[in-house]
Amino acid sequence: MARNEYPIAKEESLGNLVKVQQIIDVIVLAELQQAQRYGNELEQIIIQRLGGFTTRTVGVNNGYLSTRLTKLAEAGHVFRAWEGDNRYNRYYKITDQGLLYFEQLIRELPERIDLVLSIYTGFKKYLGTFDHLR
């Protein structure tokens, strides 16, 4: 095999193809198109949408989700507000800019996910050659 026969651009490295934050963003923005949601509601929805895998399983916890929601708000993708004086009653709504970001993710992610699945499938097949060691 020739050297660099299959070069991968840095921005297309496996770690950058599909990020957990993009998965979370898609779910959050999709759900906010249905109705405004509270942060703790969004966490439960994410678990449900990921087939029961906890947010911790995919590298997300309350702190991460809170940080992600803050980033979405700072970027103008969501509007957040408190209901009453309770700081835990923060709710979120999608903005027009959030809709555009959601549409961009929906256009880009399927192809990236297919590539990641192809890479992992090839690697799993390769690992199968070592089954005798297990």
Does 114 score more than 80 pLDDT?
A: yes
- Rounded to an integer, the average pLDDT of 115-123 is 92
DSSP string spanning 43-77? Answer: HHHHHHHTTT--TTTTT--HHHHHHHHHHHHHTTS
> Domain spanning 18-128: which CATH class is it, in words?
mainly alpha
> How much is the pTM?
0.79
Identify the residue with better confidence: 58 or 75.
75
Report angle CA 24, 28, 31 to the nearest 5 degrees.
140
17-21, 46-50, 91-95 — most confident range: 91-95
8-22, 82-96, 119-133 — most confident range: 119-133
| Largest distance between two CA atoms of the chain | 65
The model's pLDDT over 1-26, given as tens digits with 9 standing for 90+, comes to: 556 565 555 456 666 788 888 999 99
Domain-by-domain residue ranges, the chain? Answer: 18-128
What are the strands, taking DSSP E only, across the chain?
A: 37-38, 78-82, 90-94
